[in-house]
Chain A
Amino acid sequence: MDIIFFKIAIILTFVLFFLPKQFQYYWGLFLHISIISISSIWAVQSLFSDVQSLSFPFILFFGEPLHIEIDKLSAFFLLVINFTVLTGALYAKGYLIPYFNKKNKIELALHYFSFLWLHISMLLVVMFRDALAFLIIWELMSISSFLLVIFESEKKETIKIGIKYLVQMHIGAVFIMIAFILAFVRSGGEFSFDGLAVYFESHNPFLLFLIFFIGFGIKAGFIPLHSWLPHAHPAAPSHVSGVMSGVMIKMGIYGILRVLTYIHHDLFDIGLFILIISLISGVLGVSLAIVQHDVKKLLAYHSIENIGIIGIGIGLGVIGVAKNIPVLAVLGFAGGILHVLNHSLFKSLLFYTAGSVYRQTHTRNIEQLGGLIKKMPKTALFFLLGALAISGLPPFNGFISEFFIYAGMFKSLHSAGLYTDIILLFSFSGLVLIGGLAIFCFTKVFSIIFLGTPRSNKVAQATEVEPGMIFPNFLIGFMIILIGFAPMLLVKPLASIVSIFTIDTTPIQQIIPTLNGISISSGIFIVLIGIVWILRAWQQKKQIIKQGNTWGCGYTGANPALHQYTATSYADNFGQLSSHLVNIKKEYKEFKENEVFPKEKSFETHSSDIFEDYLILTPANHFYSRLKKMGVLQTGKIQHYLLYSLLFLIVIYLLTILNWI
């Protein structure tokens, strides 16, 4: 029954193009909410019932009815998608106000339309099993997100980035397609995900999984497949980047998980592969994030890092299954999957707040910001919340998922074999390192944007955004804190999801007391803070509170902004450590000896992504220029045109004579 409404909602999206500007947003929101409510009902039904999966026919597809199937995994992703898209849609209203007059009716309609279709296609991606339908909807997702990315089409750069994005997405889709076809040809199962099972039973899964991994990994942004991500996220409007980084890249994770559900042997090397790639992505992602000056680019690199964390969880889970260590399997998968949810929460929160900053100051370069907490207190606090959460600090949700993974690793250390132990050693040291670097990065970005004194006059006219743009942050913040304080709520659903990958899910019951311990400790923590704060207030009430300038070594001449720390200088000592990874280029002139009255000097640093440079750009450009050199056939001379045919005939003649064809 409700499927009818779902279909109707999908059809009604086309109405957008005929509506006048001012109604379009509300129409879009209405459709979003109706789709969300319908699909969430399905998800909840599937997730909290003990049936394996819901399944009902959706449309006629090549004569046969195309079923949509919602098992636990799909249900989980449905909920994540819906929540993030809801907040995104709410946030969009405020964010798009400045564009309302710049853009004409059709452009706006196209934007809302694409946003709706991004939502719909993501939902269907996790619900389709038929391979062809999956590919189609997968590409639809790429197209709609592409149209969203190029929203600010006035900028030449945006279009360039959009095209880069489109091409890379297409390459990913091609890999997935090849994988499906190969599985189909080699095994002759049905042409769908379920058909993969037939292949994997009889063949060594690694090769096919590798192809799938590349295909989905491009979407997910694993290093070195990530090079679209740091460009597309900054280019897109913030509600879009929030949704893209929050959930769209998770579709890659979904794909990988979905494929994993059909593999039941030779899992170890697959797990190891995922783990290694994920560790690299995590560490390099965050290292590259530290040296960025563009806040949204920085956040984009953090998405890569978090994808890495998710991957670590999944990889460990797979290894656990392979080595038959239930605790590692269960907690690994649980941690990874939970981190999908968590990352979608705090990453979208960070993007929304960063977007608000951008809307008020018209710059994404953090070197020009500073002291915004006085202008935009609410935004600042929500950004801080997001920063704490993404750094995996208690008592917020990021900590919980990382804790799952840690717990899995430490609990299984003793029972695991030698090689697994060494793998675990690297994993948890890597995870710790990632956490530390994340803290380093977010202390930097938060304090440079919001604290200290303004670094340019862009900050001066900034004001707090309207409540409409704050409200979604409240929703997300609530979720973040809820998960942080009451993680045990998630145990049951997580267990049911994990049961898809590993049969024995008892270990997750062991962790419940631990989670209770965490919540209690968090509670105590808050209480302690409260007590100390009250004491402090009580003490200061009796004392005189004076104001005095910041201590500047006694030098009080110039304004503090001058000798204030910048993002570059903050990142510098890390940059020195990892200069080869992030290759920072500095541009400046030395002072000469004879320079008595030095002229104005400037100092610039640029960092570039070595993977993008050497793995993607250089070969691509080389290939393209080669092709271009070859394109001289269209000379415009009749003689040449005829010559081709003559040569063709002669060549064929010879080949035939020589029996080569």
Chain B
Amino acid sequence: MLFIYTITSIVISLSILFAKKNTLTKVLSVVFIIAQISLSFIAFLRIGEVDSLYFKFDALGILLGFVLSILSVATFYHSTLYLKRHEFSRRQEAIYYSSLVMLIASMMNAYFAENVALLWVCIEATTLFITILIFHERTKEALEATWKYLFISSVGVAIAFIGILFLSMAANSTGITNLSYENLLSVANQMNTNWLKVAFILILAGYSVKLSLFPLYAAAIDAKTIAPSPINALMSTALVNVAFVAIFRTFIIISQTSTMAWAQNILIITGVVSIFIATIQLTRIQRLKRMYAFSSMKHVGVIAIGLAVGGLGYYAAILHLIFHSFVKASIYYQVGAIRQFFKTGWIKDTGNYFKLNPVGGLALILCEISVLSIPPSGLFVSEFLTFKAIIMSGHLYIAIFLFLLLTVIIYVFSKNTYHLLFAEAPVDIDYDKIKTVPYESASQFILLFLVIYLGISPPQFFTDLIYAATAILN
């Protein structure tokens, strides 16, 4: 199934690349979206089955696949808006769409990849396409951001590759040559723990570049400052999920061995450090997008800790991941609308957005409340569960420390967001250039209300899927 999907997406992207008419591009994108959605439904129906040799429709993949499908619809819509607002050459637009298609396709593959090496390849592919998309605006800053991201993530992926080498070595010593997670899991407890440790730490450090988690978070932050907002929306949600999948699957293998406790400590350390760094950097940020970039870092830190403390934490972590995807995506869509009012991304040059674009302002307020994981946002529920898990696992002091940091984050966020919303507007807005319509913000409202709904009373199949994903852990 995935094989067909991949082929189709490659064909679509190529034909978009060489398409002469915009209408054709639109049609093809619609076709792709349909393929995308249908794939996630098929995956849901054929849950647990192995697909085209190296893939498997497992619960986590399905959940994230659905998330990606929903986001890709919105992303395509907002991409059209984004491209409308700036004058780009047809060529650039074509490149944009085709690499967007390929990006989504490779991420989809990554979710379902059932083989360590294959997953690694998919992630490498995402690097390639996301790089092209980051570079889309062709400015000096874009070039810098792209270079940093490309370089750092190549190093990261290389490090991850070393990790995978060690994993394979550990597997070889038990006589396994095919590196499918199934096999690795089956022999996990016979593996040499030292090798596993090295493998895990390297994979974590390597993929942290995509996860925007400490240690290799920094390049992604700079990239998100520049990338087009629809791309940001994918980059800090679906791409994060990809890296999460990679680490989660490795973690599952570890969890079957005596190395578990060690790995959990590592995760706690990285999580806490990430949140701490995010906080101290947030006190200094001056650009809007950087603020949201660091907030993703904070959320990923929470997820890591949730994964580390275990028990309720596993459920909370995945819940948090999904909710964060929706919320952060909707924020970046809104940012796209904001950018056309104000020349620069610097917060000090913005203001009075609530008057300029009331509906958007409303959406932004809701976004802000949600991303700060204040009720009714579902993020509150997941974060609450995480903290419950932390305290239940006896790390009360970590919880208190985190609460302190989160308070600071709330302060910083409110300060900047309400400056954007209510401070007096900059003088140099040319209103005739702005083409904004209220229903642009509809997508955000839908996503955010979805988060609220899933947070307050999640439907049965949803919880079942999450439990299925974490079943092996407890």
Contacts and interface: CB of A to CB of B under 8 A. Distances in A.
Q: Do chains A and B touch in the complex (CB under 8 A)?
A: yes
Interface of A: 17, 59-63, 104-107, 110, 132, 135-137, 139-140, 143, 147, 150, 153-154, 156, 159, 162-163, 166-167, 170-171, 174, 177-178, 181-182, 184-185, 623-624, 627-628, 630-631, 633-634, 636, 638, 640-642, 644-645, 647-649, 652, 656, 661
Given A159-B418, A177-B384, A170 B214 contact: no
8 contacts: A62-B458, A136-B376, A150-B418, A627-B279, A634-B218, A638-B151, A644-B215, A649-B205
Nearest to A651: B269
A110 B361 CA distance: 11
A110 B219 contact: no
Contacts of B156: 645
B358 interface: yes
B375 A624 contact: no
A163 B365 CA distance: 13
A153 B392 CA distance: 42
Best-buried of A107, A135, A624, A644 by chain B (most CB within 10 Å): A644
B376 A167 contact: no
Nearest to B456: A61
A610 B214 CA distance: 41
Contacts of A171: 407
A132 B410 contact: no
Contacts of A624: 283, 408, 411
Interface in B194-208: 197, 201-202, 205, 208
Contacts of A153: 354, 418, 421-422
B384 A135 contact: yes
Query: Which 3 A-B pairs give the minimum distances between C-beta atoms?
Result: A106-B358, A648-B215, A631-B280
A135 B458 CA distance: 18
A451 B410 CA distance: 45
A628 B283 contact: yes
B391 A139 contact: no
A62 B463 CA distance: 9
Nearest to A652: B201
Identify whether the interface residues of A are mostly helix, strand, loop, or mixed: helix
A627 B283 contact: yes
Interface residues of B, number: 67
B457 A163 contact: no
Interface in B153-208: 155-156, 159, 197, 201-202, 205, 208
B227 interface: no
Contacts of B392: 181, 185
A61 B376 contact: no
B74 interface: no
A104 B418 contact: no
A378 B404 CA distance: 49
Contacts of B362: 17, 106, 110
Interface in B296-335: none
Interface centre among A156, A159, A171 (most CB of B within 10 A): A159
A551 to B, nearest CB: 52
A642 B153 CA distance: 10
Nearest to A170: B410
B403 interface: yes
Contact of B391 (A135, A185, A645, A661): A185
Contact of B380 (A17, A110, A139, A631): A139
Given A634-B281, A642-B152, A167 B265 contact: no
B69 to A, nearest CB: 26
Interface in B342-370: 354-355, 358-359, 361-362, 365, 369
Contacts of A135: 375, 384
Interface string B375-415: 11000110010011001100010011001000110110011
B125 interface: no
Given A106-B359, A107-B354, A633 B456 contact: no
A640 B458 CA distance: 43
A631 B294 CA distance: 12
Given A132-B381, A166-B414, A633-B277, A174 B369 contact: no
Contacts of B208: 645
A47 B148 CA distance: 68
B281 A166 contact: no
A631 B218 CA distance: 13
A162 B159 CA distance: 47
B216 A143 contact: no
Contact of B216 (A147, A174, A630, A645): A645
Contacts of A60: 457
Given A106-B358, A181-B387, A648-B205, A156 B423 contact: yes
B391 A104 contact: no
B422 A159 contact: yes
A181 B376 contact: no
A645 B355 CA distance: 44
Interface string B198-239: 000110010010000011101101100000000000000000
A140 B392 CA distance: 26
B281 A645 contact: no
Contact of B375 (A140, A642, A647): A140
A661 B265 contact: yes
B284 interface: yes
Nearest to A171: B407
A136 B380 contact: yes
B374 interface: yes
Contacts of A159: 418-419, 422-423
A132 B384 contact: yes
B375 A644 contact: no
Contact of A645 (B159, B411, B460): B159
A166 to B, nearest CB: 6
A107 B380 CA distance: 26
A633 B281 contact: yes
A649 B269 CA distance: 12
A633 B148 CA distance: 15
Contacts of B77: none
Contacts of A636: 222
A92 B230 CA distance: 42
Nearest to A140: B375
Contacts of B88: none
Tell which of A60, A136, A647 has the most Cβ of chain B within 10 Å. Answer: A136
B418 A631 contact: no
A107 B358 contact: yes
A633 B216 CA distance: 12
Contacts of B18: none
B280 A181 contact: no
Contacts of B359: 106
Contacts of B415: 163
Contact of A644 (B216, B399, B419): B216
A136 B396 CA distance: 22
B374 A143 contact: yes
Given A140-B376, A656-B262, A174 B403 contact: yes
Contacts of B381: 132, 136
Given A182-B391, A641-B218, 14 more contacts: A59-B456, A60-B457, A62-B457, A106-B362, A107-B354, A136-B376, A153-B354, A153-B418, A167-B414, A170-B407, A178-B399, A178-B403, A648-B205, A649-B205
A139 B374 contact: yes
Contacts of A162: 414, 418
B37 interface: no
B160 to A, nearest CB: 11
A136 B388 CA distance: 15
Contacts of A623: 408
A137 B197 CA distance: 44
A154 B418 CA distance: 11
B266 interface: yes
